[in-house]
Structures are given as structure tokens and as C-alpha cells.
Structure 1
Amino acid sequence: MRKLLNTLYVGTQGSYLRKEGETIVVEQETNKVLQLPVHTIGGIVAFGNVLCSPFLLGFCAEKDIGVSFLTEHGRFLASVNGPVRGNVLLRRTQYRHADDPEITSLNAANFVAAKIANCRIVLLRTLRDHRTKLNTTILENAVQHLAQYLKQIERVSTTDEIRGIEGAAAAVYFSVFDHLIIDQKNDFQFHERSRRPPLDEANALLSFTYTLIAHDVRSALETVGLDPSVGFLHRDRPGRPGLALDLMEELRPVIADRLVLSLINRRQLTKKDFKRAENGAVVMSDDARKVLLTEYQNRKQSEVQHPYIKETIPIGLLFFVQANLLARSIRGDIDGYPPFFWR
């Protein structure tokens, strides 16, 4: 089984990353503040004004360490990867599958079915753990609607129909997301999903965490030899990692949504950790970002029983396991892609 490596997040503005032997060095104002062996690092994510030496970028490319650059507040800018990995025949098969309407709809249905099922589990677990604090009728109705959408997935045949069901199910799920915020209700009010820019604190947390997952999923797809840009559920668009977005769908409720709810309900973040920018966007403070990154890493270390491979693995390995299963299905080693259903 693949070993779960750490991701190095660098958010202090003006930091400089360089190579020193077989290590990665982080400097601030010419002072060395951190030095890590390269074999312990699986990826680097730099926020804002963080510089990397060309030699370090080349070193990371050689060692299959993905480097992503984001704005200070988490909007993706660019990534640096090494030479394309994997068998070229796998990617050519991926492209042929993406052009086949039947295979595309089957894969899209798997991604969406797992996403809806996992969203439903998020609601059910909240009902189980906090029933006395909730409007149970609203959440139970949402659970029933999501179950109906799951049944509809089995009856549709085109990718456009599947996209329509995904959109409708997401609307139901986010219409009750505010009810999942048990504590700090007055400070964290969620009305609807807003992305560019996020217009409230909960949306700011969701968008930032989704960006972190996108980095990890994209790196996993590259590792197994798939092209992150050519997906099935998400249409091709220049600069958009369609396959990474596909694979994210089933993992967002399990990893990101529950993490965001925990940070709020456990009061690890409060209203004072956010500010509103001139364009109306709500952004996190530096300290809040550090808390989220720490908890995200902790979340990746916690373990889960995988229903398909029947092994207990760290959550952080889900990205690689699902990418590998997708590659195996494209190669024809297994019959269809088995998405991750949370239990």
C-alpha cells in the first residue's frame, strides 16, 4: 500500500523555498525556518507571495512532488509538475472513453451516485448525533429527496440527465446546510453556495478546503498516469482539471464538508477569524488558515474502512486509491469504476 506523505503548506508572505541536498528549505528574510527531507513530502502548496527556486521546482518534478500556487486566500493559480507519468496507452484509452457517450455516462453516474449518497450520510449522521438541537423534519425531508435522486440515477442514460440530477441534489443538500451548523448560529449563517467570491464565512471555508482537495486529487491522478484535464462528468474547458473535479465530487462531503462543520461547531474558528474584502468576498485571517490547514492534515491521518478494497486506510490515501481504481477501470482490469461510498 502506498505511504501517506505530508503536504507542505507555506502561507507566510515573502517566504522563499529552495533545495539543499535532498531536503527542502523554507527561508523567511534569509533565515532558515524549516528544513524537511524530500522523502517525507508528497506535495507543496504555496499561498500568495511565496517564491520557489528553479532548482527546487526541477527537483520536485524529478521526485514526483506536485507544487501548486494559490492566491493568499486560496484561489488556484497554477501548478508545476514533472514529465507526464504513466503508460501513454492508458491516457489514449482515457481519451477514447471520454469520447464514448455510453462510457462517459456510466462514469458520470458513478461519481454522482457516490456524491449524493455521501451527502445523504452527512445529513443522517448529523441527525443521529444532534437530533435534539435540529429541525428534524427539514433534514429528514432532504434525506428522502436525496434518496429519490439516487434512484433516478439508475434510470437515466445520458450524461446531461445525470448532470441535471447532480445539480438538483446539490441544491437540496445546500438548502439545508445551514441546519448542520449547530453552534455559533448567529455568526455562521449559510444561505446558499457562493463561490467567486464566497459571500459568507462558511462558503469561504468550503471554497478553501475544496481547493486543497483539488490539489491532492490532481496529484493522485497524475501519479497513476491519468490526464486530470479530461473528465466525464465535467465538460472539457481550457485550464479546468475536469477529471480532478469529477473525482472530487464523491470526496467533498466526506472530507471537506465535515471538516468545515467541525471547525465551526467546535468553535475552533470564530467570527473574528474572517474579514470582508472590498469586493464583498469573505476571507480568512492568516491564523484561521493555519488552523484549517492543520485540521485538514489531521483529518487526512484519520482512518476509514474502504468498502471496495476492504482495507483500513488513512483518509489522505483515498485520493490515490480512487485514482488508481479509476485507472484500473479504464485499462479494463476491473469492470467499471467503484466510487467511494462512506459508511
Structure 2
Amino acid sequence: MGSTRYIASMGELTRKDNSLCFRKDGKNVYIPIEGTKEIYCLNEVSINTKLLDFLSSNNIIVHFFNYHEGYSGTFYPRDKYNSGRLLVKQVQAFSEKRLDIAKAIVKGIGVNICEVLYHYYKHNKKEVKETIDWIKNEFFNRVDGSSNIKELMAVEGEVWQRFYSDFKYILPEDFVMNKRVKRPPDNPINALISFGNTLLYTKTISAIYRTHLDQRISFLHEPSEGRFSLSLDISEVFKPVIVYRTIFDLVNNKKLKVEKHFEKKVNYCLLNEEGRNIFIEAFEERMESVFSHPKLKRKLSYRTAIKLDCYKLIKFIIEDKEFIPFSLKDGM
């Protein structure tokens, strides 16, 4: 799937000459190093330091997932894109302009949720108009009026909540969500959202790695130890566009079915292997799908759009050029 390799089975990943070799059940599967930028380990995979050194010298990122399809962590090659000047500026922006950047991100979330809902409004789901009107008439004013991050996060929480409450008009009954439950997800829709958000988060980690931004200094989310919080910031505006549109398409076109593609245990629900493969394929297709960028006058993929948002943030930090995250409506 493009520059991304997914490993869904248990096995051992090693270096073999100038290639990667995945060994499972006594058989070898060779993965060319050429063109590989990131690897997803979705099962128990054994590795050694010789392999890590090889991955690092080829700037390949590896994302690890646990049994509950949750994100465990990332092997991150040594930073070759370090920039002391930008780091100083990024810290400065956090102390002086954090609220401005955070407001831009939350507005971006609202713009893209509105656009996704409008698609369904046009297709006779008139009930979603209430949320669309609330976003247009109240949400943006409340974002502008927020005087601190806590107030802003409350408005962000409300726009997501209203979006979730509209799922009953968009999805069939067996995929309706009572409430958002994350760790672990407790029903099929929560399982899809958690897995999709985690894939997007890790895609954003990979995008940021290839810029000079520092992953640890975020603006909307609190910078915290143990996670790349800037990836949470950058990925937020893409969730409605990439994760939720993928979910709605797969469910409404009956490519994912509750009885066929999920494992339900006592207090959690996960995609089974077939369901996971279907989701990954659709997610990758969406990442690679293109749209026309009005300013650049060329076609871009959503994968490139994520990286472009990183560069927009750098422009704001260094040149004070207004930061407007990706908008589905404007295609930029």
C-alpha cells in the first residue's frame, strides 16, 4: 500500500542483506527497503537491534500496536530534521500564541464536521441541519470568545458530541453509538473510531517526522510525557475527513458488518483480522485519494495535505503567516 507496510501476523522481522524479511510459520516474506517509509506491526513481532540500526539508517518509522488494536509506541529513527532555530520559535509560540493556534485547530474541526454533515443533509438526512446551524451560528463565536485552553476544549468537546449524536441519522441501527468509549472500545462503532483515529495519529507522527517540527510541543492538547502530542493537534482536523468518511462509507455500503467483522468480548469489541484488513485498505485508499488544491493549482493526496498543515504551522511560527488548517470545503 504505497510506502506503508502492514504486518498483521505474529512472526519475526529481520534484516536480510539489503531487504527486510518477515518470517512466519517457517516461511519468509521479503519486504523491499526501497520505497518503504513506515511499517505497522499489528501483532506480536520479534525484532533485534541489527534490524533497528538498518531501519534507522533508512529513515523508516515502525508503529507498534497491542492486542486491543491500541497504539503501543513508535520506533523513531534518530532525528535528521532537527532545527534549533525552529525549536526555539516553537517553544516561543507555545508561550505567546498557543491560544491562537489552538483556536485555528478547533475551528478547522468544526469546518470539516460541518462539511461532512452537509453531504448527508444534501442526501435527504435533513435531521443533521440542527448541528450544521449550531456550528455556523454559535460554535465559531464560542471559539473566538474562548479566553483559555480549558474553555476552548469544552467547545471542542461539544462539537464532537453533537456530531456523534447525528450518527443515528447516518448509520444503520447496529452501528449507532450510545457514547464514545475509548479504552477499550465497547461496541462496533467505537472500535472503528478508535482504530481509525490511531491509524491517523500514527500517519501524522510520520508526517511530522519529515519536517523540522518538534513532536512534543503541542498547542491544543497539553504537551505531555509519553506521547507525541503535536500529532494529536495536527490530526484533529483530518478526523472528520479521513476517519469518519471512511467509516460511513464502509458501513453504509455494507463492506463491514457487525456479525461478520467484529469480535465481541465481555467489556470490549474489536475488529477481527478480516475486518481490520478491509478497514486498512479503505483507509489507505482515502489517504492516497486526491483533490484539486486551488492555490497550488495541482492535485494533492490527503497524505500530502497532512504534511502541508505541518508546513503551514511552521510558516506561522517563523513568519507569523496566519495558520488555517486543512478545510474540506476549500480543498486546502
Give TM class, smaller chain: over 0.9
Aligned to 1:64: 59
Superposed CA RMSD in Å reads 1.8
- Alignment partner for residue 111 of structure 1, among 105, 110, 114? 105
Which position in structure 2 is the counterpart of 1:9?
A: 6
1:40 to 28, 35, 39: 35
Aligned-partner Cα distance in 2 for 1:328–1:309: 16
Amino acid at match of 2:158: A
Q: Which residue of 1 aligns with 2:156?
A: 166
User: Residue 115 and residue 307 in structure 1: after superposition, are their counterparts in 2 closer, same or farther (change >3 A)?
Assistant: farther
Aligned equivalent of 2:191:
204
Q: Which amino acid letter does the alignment assign opposite residue 143 of structure 2? A: I
Alignment CA distance shift 1:310-1:116 (3 Å): farther
Gaps of 5+ in 1: none
TM-score (norm 2): 0.93
Q: Deviations over 1:206-231 (max 9, x none)?
A: 10011001111011112102122220
Unaligned runs of 5+ in 2: none
Amino acid at match of 2:91: Y
Q: Is the 8 A contact 2:69 2:270 kept in 1?
A: no
Q: What is the letter of the counterpart of residue 10 of structure 1?
A: I
Q: State how far apart, in whole Å, the 1-side matches of 2:99 and 2:94 are.
A: 9
1:119 deviation in Å?
A: 0.4
Q: Provide the rounded CA distance (Å) in 1 between the counterparts of 2:91 and 2:294.
A: 28
Matched, 1:228 2:215: yes
TM-score (structure 1 length as normaliser): 0.90
Which secondary structure state, in structure 1, belongs to the residue aligned with residue 133 of structure 2? Answer: helix
Q: Do the aligned partners of 2:89 and 2:318 also contact (CA within 8 Å) in 1?
A: yes
CA drift of 1:310 comes to 4.4
Residue 120 of structure 2 corresponds to which residue in structure 1? 126
Query: By how many angstroms is 1:308 displaced?
Result: 5.2
Tell me the secondary structure at the aligned position of residue 210 of structure 2.
helix
- Alpha-carbon deviation of 1:153? 2.2
Distance in 1 (CA, whole Å) between partners of 2:54 and 2:287 is: 25
Report 1:1-343 matches (<5 A): 5-12=2-9, 14-33=10-29, 35-84=30-79, 85-100=81-96, 103-128=97-122, 130-131=123-124, 134=125, 136=126, 138-147=127-136, 148-181=138-171, 185-272=172-259, 273-278=261-266, 280-306=267-293, 309-332=296-319, 335-343=321-329
Relative to structure 1, the CA distance from residue 89 to residue 286 in structure 2 (aligned partners, 3 Å threshold; closer, same or farther) is: same
**Shift of residue 159, structure 1, vs aligned partner:** 2.5
* Partner Cα distance (1:308, 1:170) in 2: 29
Aligned with 1:233: secondary structure? coil
- Residue 263 of structure 1 aligns to a residue in which SS? helix
How much has 1:77 moved relative to structure 2? 0.8
- CA distance in structure 2 between the partners assigned to 1:323 and 1:89 by the alignment: 16
Measure the CA separation in 1 of the matches of 2:4 and 2:74: 14
Work out the CA distance in 2 between the residues paired with 1:319 and 1:242: 15
SS in 1 for 2:31: strand
Percent identity between the aligned chains? Answer: 22
